[in-house]
Structures are given as structure tokens and as C-alpha cells.
Amino acid sequence: MPTMNIIQAVNDALRTQMRLDDRVVVLGEDVGKFGGVFRATQGLQQEFGAERVVDTPLSESGIIATAIGMALYGLRPVPEAQFADFIYPAFDHIVNELAKYRYRSGGQYPCPVVIRTPYGGGIKGGHYHSQSNEAYWAHTPGLKVVIPSNPYDAKGLLLASMRQDDPVIFMEPKRVYRAAKGDVPDTDYTVEIGKAKVVKEGRAVTVLAYGSMVHTAIEALNKAPEIDAELIDLRTIVPLDIDTVIASVEKTGRVVIVQEAPRTAGIAAELTALINEKAFLSLEAPVQRVTGWDTPFPYTLDLEYLPSADRVVQAMRRALNF
Amino acid sequence: MSLVEYKVDKGMFNAPFTVLREDDTADPALMPNISDEDLRALYRTMALTRAFDQRMITLQRQGRLGFYLGSYGEEAATVGSAYALKPEDWIFPCYREQGAYLWRGITVQEMANQCYGNAYDSTKGRQMPVHYSFRHKNIVSVSSPLAVQLPQAVGAAWAAKLRRDPVITLTYFGEGSSSQGDFHVGLNFAGVYKTPTVFFLRNNGWAISTPREVQTASETFAQKANAYGFEGVLVDGNDILAVIVATQRAAEKARNGGGPTLIEALTYRLGAHSTSDDPSGYRKDEDVKVWEKKDPLPRFQRFLAKRGLWTPEWEEELQAEFKAEISTAVEAAEKAPAPAVETIFEDVFSDKPWFLQEQEAELKASLAESKENH
């Protein structure tokens, strides 16, 4: 089985699906001839031609809006927003158009666009190459939000995203784009959207994470082997795998949620509310949130901003010692 | 004289392209080839559009309808442009194109159902009145935010081109929409990829209370196409024959690989923006009166009368027919039940995830509990 990093896995998923389905079109800035600034679309234009792997004008709203038009017509566009931080010119198209099209047309017009976008900090990108904006999408009814943490899931989840009928915001953790390596079958497979993965079983405390924070959580678990933690990689933010989360909380009674995005109104807040609603009597301690701060993402002090393994360990101890 | 020659002779944007002359005859050199039957059908659709709009506005004033947005004065622009398309072409509407829908064969009943948001509304009561969507006629979904449909129409045209389908897209918008970024984005992408798209700009002079002069310092809107590398055409939007010629030409060009065209149809919004505003607060009656004299419906009527295609008797028949048809439709729409409560949770996604199932159960339980307590 080949070893791939996340970029290679994404590339492999795109290539696999483009070979199967001629409705799949990739479009974005620098995605064609150049193969993308992170090389995720490398070689695709050579194989599928400039009509299906399209270098667009420099306009996120144009990329997303034309992708919406393509999807309405029956294609399966997979636009790339070069950085999640640059996606906001397309915000209206994502929130008011893409997300609502099926609903507002009474189910007449599905809009299956998969927006791929690298997100997150840790690459010395300042606040315009570091944001984790998943909460905006999760707060918008009609969007599925998928965030893989490793190459195997990246390929399987991207293939699954391109084979279902709803719009997907597919967020790729760029900090571990190349660092996260693993075995990826070169065969065709999917990972089900909406299913979390128990990375490590444990009985003392549940750690919930997604995207690059899964790696921070693993580091924390390795730093504190004396804590019998259960680590869950959520993999999908919308729809959340609530059953796996609640089953774990009922077992451990203690929860740490790790989220790179700012704290206020983030995914960790939603998870906390859901745990309160569904597993209140199982809780032995308040749910602990380890998050980015409610500040813009800083350039120099990025590591102080990002949740660290130490902060996760400290949060696990707070939960255990409550 | 063809439209091209006309433009060469008179300059591209000096005066709008017009077919109907002052004496209510058509310039024979410019007259499009339209059968008498079609000419009458076009008139009928324009008149029906106006009758429907008037009734809906009345219903809103009577408190029977929540909101309405009419197209008084712009019927030539919407009906004529729709006539120039083929049924397989896609329409990306703004929100004032009921004339185009009626020409495409959307029924008064279908439109009334949408305005009432009842169980038979094709959009399931999900949107305000006039935010139609009719997939069976290739009419996408109306959005309130302006100009978003332009780049979407470009994307769909691009898709048709990729699929080698002989399909074009036409998108409607007002002159106010040209101030949005999506106007630039749409025209720019269309120019770069030479998509088969017709941009149909209804310059009706007003964006709610904001006059045309506030939208742009350009002499015309049509000339903006120059910056995107394709043709812009200024046309008399109150002359249905001119609208047809210009749109047919743009559509044919798009279908033959010639790329996009921007059509500026110079017209006037004779009515209010919607039932939520009173134009007397922001414009002078005498200005409106100038345009009332150019009203496209009587203008076309006089042309037809001169050709023996319109008589007062026919008009009486039409009005009686419209009255009956609209009354029946409104009565049925008002009597129709509201969409079932569970439809709130449908079509958010292709399936119904657990949280929507839970919320649906929560709403139903709450409604049942309230009912019990009353």
C-alpha cells in the first residue's frame, strides 16, 4: 500500500473521481497548469485537459458562483479556495446561494458543490493564511462540513463528498498537509460522512478533536500516558457523529474539546451544549475547552495562540481533578 | 439595415436600437420575422402580465397577500427577451420577470400558488412572493440579494458549453445590480471563457428610491461590456420588437460560440419598487407621465391595430378571460392548505440528518402540547 501525505491523498481522490465521472470539474486560482499552490491538483490538467481543470481569474466569489451555476446545470464542480482566509468574497454565494439553493427552490435544484480549502495555522501565515472558519459554515443550514486529519480519511472523505448530493465545505489542515503521512490504498474507497473515528480507546476522559488538532491531541496523550484518555477524531462537523460522542462521554464522564478556532460560538461550544443536553447525568466535571483565543490569529506568537499539547494535558488534568 | 449596421451608422450607444417608429409602424428594414399569431400571443402575454400584477397588488392592499413586486412598464423587456430564447435555454432571473415566466408557459395558477406560499407552491412556501423557481421550464431560483445570479448564469452556460449542449443562459437584472461586485465578476468570467450567456439589464431608472445617475457615471450601462471584451447593445426596452431583435441576435451569437452579450434595455419602472414603497416620496409625477406616454403595452397595441391584429373586441375578450383565469387561480391559491409542518425540515439536505429529525420531533411535540392546553 502506498504511503501518501494529505496533499497526495487529495490529489488521488480527485484523479480517481475525475476518471469515473466526467461531470467533475476542478476550478480555482493556479489549480491548472501549476497544479495548485500546495500542489493538490498537480497533474490533473495534464490528464483531464484545461476544460475540466480550470485556471480562473483571481476571484473567490467568481469561482464559487460559477461552480454553483455549473452544479445547477448538472456538473459536479470541485472549486478550490486557495486559503480559507480568502473565501469571504464568496461568503454571500456560499451562505445565501449554495447552502439554500435546494431548500429555497423547494427541492427542485440540488447544488452539489464540494469546496476544497486549506485552513488553519502553524505555518507562519499571519491572520490571512491561518484561519479556522468552520463555525461559519456549520452555522449555515444546508452545508456539510468535513475536516479530515490524515491522508486515509482525506481520500475517503473527499471521494464520499464528491459522490453525494449536498454542498460540502471540505477543509484541509494545511499545517499537517505534508507532515501527516500514512498508508493510503490506491484502490477506490470512501469514508462515510458523519462518522467519527475512535483513534484511541480509554475510560478516564474523552478528548474530541478534528483536523490538525487531532495531531495535537495525540501529542498530548503521548505526553501523559498515565491518563487513560479516549481520543475521538470527529472527521465531520456537520453532521456531527453525536452517537459516538455521547457513548464515549457516558463511559468517561469527562470531556476535553480541542479546537483551533477562536472560542466564542465555536464547534466546541456546540459540542458542550449537545453533551449537556444528552449526557448531563454522566458528567463528572465541566466540559473543558482548549481553543484558539478570541483574537485575530497572530503572526509571531502563533504557537502561543494555537492549542498546544501542554494545554490539552492541563485540561485533561482539570477534568480529572475536578 | 441590420442591428450591426445600425450601430455602425449611429454609434454604439448614442441612441437605443428601436424598431417601432413614432407613427406606430415598424421600420420595415428592421422588422423581425414574426408570425401574426406570435405577435398576438406576445401582446396577450404582456397584457396578462399586467393584469396579474395589478390583481396581486390589489390583493396585497386588501391584506390578502403579504407582499408583491410588479413589473408595470417593463412587460416588453421581459416578454420580448423570453420570446427570443429556446425552451431548452436557462433563465437566471432577478425578481421582476413574471412576463418571461408567462411566456415560457408558467400558469397563473403556478404563480399564484407561489405568491401565497401554499402546499402547491413549487418552492413549498419557502420564500417570499415572486421568488419563483420552475425547474420544468429551466427557470432557476430567485434570490433577493442582487446580481448573484450573474456569475451563476455564467457557470451554467460554461457547463452547457463543456457538455456540448446547444444551450445558452440568459440572466436578468436591473441597473442597480450593475453596482454590485457580482456584475463585474459575472461579466469578467463570461468574457474570459466566452460563455454562451446573455446579460439582460433592465434599466428601469430606479433602484427603489435611488435614481440611475447614482449607480454609475457611465453614459450607458451597455458600454460597460467593452471593458470585458465583448459587445454591449443599447435597446429601447419599451419596444418589444427591438427587444426581440437584440435578444435573438445575442442568443444566436452565444449559441454559435460567439460568447456573451450585454443588452441594456432602456425602460422605466412605472409602478412602485414593491408594495412596500410609495414612489411619490422620491420622484416627480411629471417625470413618470413622460414615460407613461411610452408605455410598451399601448405602444404595441397601436402597432398591432394598424396591422389589423388588435381590435377593442379582442381586448374585451382578453380582459374577461384574464379576469376569470386570475380569479379562479387566486381563489384556489387562497383556499389551498399551507405546506405540512414537516416540510420545514425537508430539502435542507438530500437526507434528513439526526439533528433535523430531532428538531422536527421537538416542534411537533410542542405543537401537540400547545393544542392540548388550548
pLDDT digits (tens, 9 = 90+) for B252-307: 999 999 999 999 999 999 999 999 999 999 999 998 999 999 999 999 999 999 99
Q: Is residue A45 pLDDT above 70, yes or no?
A: yes
pLDDT above 90 for A312: yes
- Residues with Cβ within 8 Å of B316's Cβ and at least 6 positions away in sequence, in order, are none
Q: Does the beta carbon of A89 lie under 8 angstroms from any beta carbon of chain B?
A: yes
- The confidence score (pLDDT) of residue B13 equals 59
Residues of A whose CB is below 8 A from B182: 61, 65
What's chain A's average pLDDT? 98
Q: Show Cβ contacts of residue B71 under 8 Å, excluding neighbours closer than 6 positions.
A: B49, B50, B53, B78, B96, B97, B98, B99, B271
Torsion of CA B160, B161, B166, B168, to 10 degrees: 70
pLDDT of residue B4: 53
Q: What is the pLDDT of residue B15?
A: 86
- Who among A65, A106, A109 is closest to B155 (CB)? A65
What pLDDT does B364 receive?
97
CB A218 within 8 A of CB A152: no
Q: Which of B21, B61, B136, B282 is labelled catalytic? A: B282
pLDDT value at position B222? Answer: 95
In this predicted structure, what is the pLDDT of residue B11? 45
Q: Which residues of B touch A108 (CB under 8 A)?
A: 122-123, 133-135, 141
Distance, CA of A123 to CA of A245 (rounded, Å): 30
Residue B373: its pLDDT value, please? 85
Burial class (CB in 10 A: 0-12, 13-18, 19+), B223: middle
From CA B207, how far away is CA B268, in angstroms rounded?
A: 11
Residue B170: its chain A contacts at CB < 8 A? none
A226 at B interface, C-beta within 8 A: no
Cβ neighbour number for residue A174 with a 10 Å cutoff? 25
- What confidence tens digit (pLDDT) does each residue in A148-205 have? 999 999 999 999 999 999 999 999 999 999 999 999 999 999 999 999 999 999 999 9
Does B155 contact A at CB distance below 8 Å? yes
**DSSP 8-state class, residue B271:** S
Which of B136, B346, B347, B355 to probe by mutation at the A interface, max A CB count within 10 Å? Answer: B347
Catalytic-labelled residue, pool A93, A129, A139, A215: A129
Question: Which parts of chain B register pLDDT below 70?
Answer: 1-13
B273 is catalytic: yes
Note the pLDDT tens digit of each residue in A134-155: 999 999 999 999 999 999 999 9
On whether the CB atoms of residues A286 and A191 are closer than 8 A, the answer is no
d(CA A234, CA A245): 8
A62 chain-B contacts, CB cut-off 8 A: 151, 185-186, 188-189
The identity of residue B161, as a single letter, is K
CB of A142 within 8 Å of a chain B CB? The answer is yes
User: pLDDT digit string (tens) for B2-13?
Assistant: 555 555 444 455
DSSP A146-187: E---SHHHHHHHHHHHHTSSS-EEEEEEGGGTTT-EEE--SS
User: What residue in A sits closest to B352 (Cα-Cα)?
Assistant: A239
Residue of B nearest to A50 (CA): B162
What pLDDT digit, counting tens, does each position of A48-88 carry?
A: 999 999 999 999 999 999 999 999 999 999 999 999 999 99
How many whole angstroms separate alpha carbon A183 and alpha carbon A153?
10
Q: Does B354 touch chain A (CB under 8 A)?
A: yes
Question: Closest by alpha carbon to A7, among A172, A167, A130, A131?
Answer: A172
- Amino acid, single-letter form, for residue B262: L
| CB proximity list for B22: less than 8 A, separation 6 or greater | none
